[in-house]
Amino acid sequence: MSTQSTQYTNVAITLHWVIAVLIIAQLIGGEIMGQLQPISFRFEIYQLHKSFGIIVLLLSLARLGWRLTHTPPPLPSGMEPWERLVSKTTHILFYVLMIGIPMAGWLMVSASPMNIDTMIFKIIPWPHFPGIPQTEALEAFFKDVHNYMAIAAVVLIVLHVAAALKHHFVNRDAVLTRMIPSLKKRS
Ligand code: HEM
Ligand code: HEM
């Protein structure tokens, strides 16, 4: 079932911003956590990274479900066909990365011969991905996928933010305000 609207729903807006903040924090945290000392402290931070990462995975799956059952507001009428294509492609790629990055992280730790458990916020045990062989080669493969997808996310975020700012300050349309309703609305 599909719901037509000229605005993003509060659920879509909330999920967008919670996931955006978490992913940006995870990208920065992921980059610096590998250099942390001592090792025991590093272990705690890795558990925190995995915990927030699994939260992103679950929220992104919920968001995908929401997105598939709700039609987003139409783009401004003045946009060129290539701009619409870039916008749509970017959004689809974001969904791939929002789910793909934490999935690759989960697969990486599941394939690790070190076999370290994941405890979400030290309380909820999170299982390894079922049936996955624990080999160094597979762990290294998913580590590369995790890393390259994270790099792709940084590129996409820069593009996405630049487009949002261009809509707001150059085109002066309502694309940014419908994702940040507290900004003054423009027609
Ligand atoms: C939004 C979700 C996530 C983002 C944006 C993210 C991002 C990153 C980044 C940027 C790194 C550093 C990569 C490098 O320099 O090699 C990293 C490392 C890591 N991530 Fe994630 N991550 C996410 C979710 C997860 C999840 C769900 C898990 C596991 C359940 C996980 C496990 C790891 C581990 C174990 C490392 C360290 C790899 C190593 O150097 O040995 N991540 N992550
Ligand atoms: C990790 C960070 C981010 C991710 C993964 C992300 C992802 C997305 C996705 C998937 C959509 C499409 C919504 C849908 O139809 O489902 C979207 C829309 C949007 N995002 Fe982001 N976003 C991020 C950060 C940001 C930031 C920092 C800004 C502000 C500058 C922003 C501004 C917008 C706006 C204005 C829209 C609406 C675009 C439209 O109506 O076509 N996003 N975002």
CATH number of 10-171: 1.20.950
* Whether pTM exceeds 0.85: yes
What pLDDT, on a 0 to 100 scale, did the predictor assign at position 185? 53
Nearest CA to ligand 1 atom 31: 105
100 Cβ inside 6 Å of ligand 1: no
What pLDDT, on a 0 to 100 scale, did the predictor assign at position 3? 47
106 phi, psi to nearest 5 deg: -65, -45
What pLDDT, on a 0 to 100 scale, did the predictor assign at position 186? 47
Task: Tell me which residues have their CB closer than 6 angstroms to ligand 2.
Answer: 16, 19-20, 23-24, 67, 72, 75, 87, 91, 94-95, 98, 157, 160-161, 164, 175-176, 178-179
Listed by start position, the domains of the chain span: 10-171
Nearest ligand 2 atom to the CA of 91 is 10
Using alpha carbons only, what angle is made at residue 170 by residues 169 and 175, rounded to the nearest 5 degrees? Answer: 65
Encode 73-109: b = buried (16+ Cβ within 10 Å), e = exposed. Answer: beeeeebeeebeeebeeeeebbeebbbbbbbbbbbbb
What pLDDT, on a 0 to 100 scale, did the predictor assign at position 2? 44
Q: Which pLDDT tens digits describe the chain residue by residue (187 residues)?
A: 344 567 899 999 999 999 999 999 999 999 999 887 777 788 899 999 999 999 999 999 999 999 999 999 999 998 999 999 999 999 999 999 999 999 999 999 999 999 999 999 999 999 999 999 999 999 999 999 999 999 999 999 999 999 999 999 999 999 999 999 888 654 4
